[in-house]
């Protein structure tokens, strides 16, 4: 029987890297992302314009029909986003709103999904950050969400394991382009993070 995993953020850098690894090991992979991941077994395409409730319902319904009564061995949320600037920036509210949608809402839906579609003893993983503003406003909420997930009475399946990863800067081509003068040796290789 194949293991099953959902990768929320499956069309992003970290998500694509994870899916390659899982497919190599013959896992059945559901990708949730804004673009299709051609390596994934199943794709659920979502939009960054969706409200939490709309995307939540859509993803949960799709997952339920993909699983057809089965459950996931692992639910990994690696959806993310990045935005610079302080309060005085003209589009500060729009930036935070987008970060909340990309970072907090995806973590909330993955967590909610774990109460319904994760096996007893399965793994839930969320992604936090060590970083910059206004990204951390949304990430701070994920950190808190994680605190409440690992506490008693969280609603997660029996013996389910939860981990949060808190990467510094990940070594991707986009990040190298955006920060050409940074010390790349301090960055986290993408394939290391996937292992």
Is residue 106 a contact residue for a copy of itself (CB under 8 A)? no
Contact 88, 134 (CB under 8 A): no
Residue from 35, 53, 121, 189 in contact with a copy of itself (CB under 8 A): 53
We find the least distance from the C-beta atom of residue 110 to a copy of itself, in angstroms, to be 10
We find the least distance from the C-beta atom of residue 147 to a copy of itself, in angstroms, to be 8
- C-alpha 173/C-alpha 181 separation (Å) is 13
Is residue 154 a contact residue for a copy of itself (CB under 8 A)? yes
Is residue 77 a contact residue for a copy of itself (CB under 8 A)? no
- C-alpha 50/C-alpha 48 separation (Å) is 5
| Six-digit token string for 59 | 């993803």
We find the least distance from the C-beta atom of residue 190 to a copy of itself, in angstroms, to be 26
We find the least distance from the C-beta atom of residue 75 to a copy of itself, in angstroms, to be 12
Residue 156 or 170: which CB sits closer to a copy of itself?
156
* Binding residues among 130-149 for a copy of itself as defined by CB under 8 A: 133-134, 136-141, 143-145, 148-149
Is residue 89 a contact residue for a copy of itself (CB under 8 A)? yes
We find the least distance from the C-beta atom of residue 23 to a copy of itself, in angstroms, to be 29
Which window, 50-58, 71-79, 167-175, 176-184, contacts a copy of itself (CB under 8 A)?
50-58
In sequence order, the 6+-apart residues with CB closer than 8 A to the CB of 62 are 44
Which window, 13-21, 38-46, 83-91, 177-185, contacts a copy of itself (CB under 8 A)?
83-91
Vertex 97, ends 14 and 169: CA angle to 5°?
30
157: burial class by Cβ within 10 Å (0-12, 13-18, 19+)? middle
Cβ count near 118 (within 10 Å): 24
Element containing residue 59 per DSSP (H, E)? helix 52-67
Q: 108 phi and psi, to 5 degrees? A: -65, -45
- C-alpha 6/C-alpha 138 separation (Å) is 22
Binding site for a copy of itself (CB under 8 A): 51-53, 56, 86-89, 92-94, 96-97, 100, 104, 108-109, 111-112, 114-115, 133-134, 136-141, 143-145, 148-149, 153-156
């Amino acid at each position: 029987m194949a293991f099953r995993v959902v990768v929320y953020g499956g069309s992003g850098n970290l998500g694509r890297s994870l899916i390659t690894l899982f497919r190599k090991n013959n896992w059945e992979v559901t990708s949730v992302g804004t673009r299709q991941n051609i390596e994934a077994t199943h794709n659920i395409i979502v939009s960054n314009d969706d409200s939490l409730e709309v995307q939540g319902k859509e993803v949960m319904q799709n997952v339920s029909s993909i699983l057809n009564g089965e459950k996931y061995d692992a639910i990994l949320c690696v959806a993310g986003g990045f935005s610079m600037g302080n309060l005085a920036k003209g589009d500060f509210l729009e930036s935070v709103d987008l970060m909340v949608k990309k970072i907090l809402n995806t973590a909330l839906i993955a967590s909610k999904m774990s109460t319904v579609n994760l096996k007893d003893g399965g793994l839930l993983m969320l992604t936090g950050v060590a970083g910059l503003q206004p990204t951390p406003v949304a990430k701070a909420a994920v950190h808190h969400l994680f605190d409440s997930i690992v506490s008693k009475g969280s609603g997660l399946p029996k013996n389910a394991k939860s981990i949060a990863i808190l990467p510094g800067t990940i070594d991707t081509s986009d990040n190298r382009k955006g920060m050409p003068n940074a010390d790349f040796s301090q960055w986290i290789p993408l394939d290391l993070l996937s292992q």
